[in-house]
């Protein structure tokens, strides 16, 4: 069985996984478009996102304060396996019902948060490590819808920076990045 959320995650995940697989050990200390994170820090954060949002799909409590270094032997393959588990967790229609006990938001919104984190942080990591990543139109459309509803709240909570002005001719990906406080022209 699938849901719209799991289908979108299944579209976005392989792109981010390819970026993660393409990161070399000598790139782990590079800066990222997220000023508080190096590549290593952002990889660990994204790993936590992928694991914790599996639990949130099952309405389990998560501990965001745990700061584990996931980048030990075989971490790229473990990340890949965890993204598969993320998709599976959100494929149950019950995962989208009701309100998240841990987040206080509709479960559907929580699933979209996982999608946005996966896609946008995939771009962050690609940009930081000299890779390219494409984001599918349906993922971008969901991202814009999410930002319409949750962008200001996310800014107040520190999840997003202040929006960056878009330039003429900006792509839909550029527009989404700007809405999350990223400069699409960022370079290390």
**Predicted confidence band at 1 (pLDDT cuts at 50, 70, 90)?**
confident
- For the purposes of burial, counting CB atoms within 10 Å of the CB of 51, is it exposed (0-12), middle (13-18) or buried (19 or more)? buried
Is residue 184 included in any domain, yes or no? no
Q: How many residues does the chain have?
A: 188
Is residue 182 included in any domain, yes or no? no
Is residue 13 included in any domain, yes or no? yes
**Which residues fall within 8 angstroms of residue 37, CB to CB, at 6 or more apart?**
45, 124
> Which CATH number covers residue 76?
1.20.120.450
Is residue 168 included in any domain, yes or no? no
**Predicted confidence band at 163 (pLDDT cuts at 50, 70, 90)?**
very high
DSSP secondary-structure letter at 167?
A: P
Domain span at residue 64?
4-138
Helices (H), 22-106: 39-57, 75-89
For residue 64, the Cα-to-chain-centroid distance in whole angstroms is 15
Counted domains in the chain: 1
Q: Which pair of structure tokens corresponds to residue 28?
A: 């782990």
* Long-range CB contact pairs, 58-65, < 8 A, 24+: 58/89, 58/95, 59/100, 59/101, 59/102, 59/107, 60/102, 61/101, 61/102, 62/102
Is residue 84 included in any domain, yes or no? yes
Residue 180 has pLDDT above 80, yes or no: yes
Is residue 149 included in any domain, yes or no? no
Is residue 43 included in any domain, yes or no? yes
Is residue 148 included in any domain, yes or no? no
Q: Give the tens place of pLDDT for each residue, 20-41.
A: 999 999 999 999 999 899 999 9
Per the listing, tokens 């979209």 go with: 112
**Predicted confidence band at 66 (pLDDT cuts at 50, 70, 90)?**
confident
Mean pLDDT of 132-145: 96
Residue 121 has pLDDT above 90, yes or no: yes
């Amino acid at each position: 069985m699938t849901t719209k959320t799991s289908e979108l995650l299944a579209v976005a995940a392989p792109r981010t996984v390819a970026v993660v697989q393409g990161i070399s050990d000598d790139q782990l200390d590079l800066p990222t478009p997220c000023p508080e994170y190096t590549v290593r820090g952002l990889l660990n954060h994204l790993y936590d996102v992928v694991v914790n949002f599996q639990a949130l799909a099952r309405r389990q409590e998560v501990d965001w304060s745990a700061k584990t270094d996931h980048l030990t032997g075989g971490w790229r393959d473990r990340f890949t396996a965890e993204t598969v588990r993320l998709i599976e967790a959100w494929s149950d229609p019950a995962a989208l019902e009701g309100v998240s006990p841990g987040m206080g938001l509709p479960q559907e919104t929580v699933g979209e948060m996982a999608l946005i984190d996966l896609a946008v942080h995939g771009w962050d990591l690609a940009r930081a490590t000299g890779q390219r990543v494409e984001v599918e139109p349906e993922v971008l459309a969901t991202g814009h819808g999410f930002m319409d509803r949750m962008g200001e709240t996310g800014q107040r909570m520190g999840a997003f920076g202040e929006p960056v002005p878009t330039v003429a001719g900006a792509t839909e990906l550029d527009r989404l990045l700007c809405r999350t406080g990223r400069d699409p022209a960022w370079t290390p």
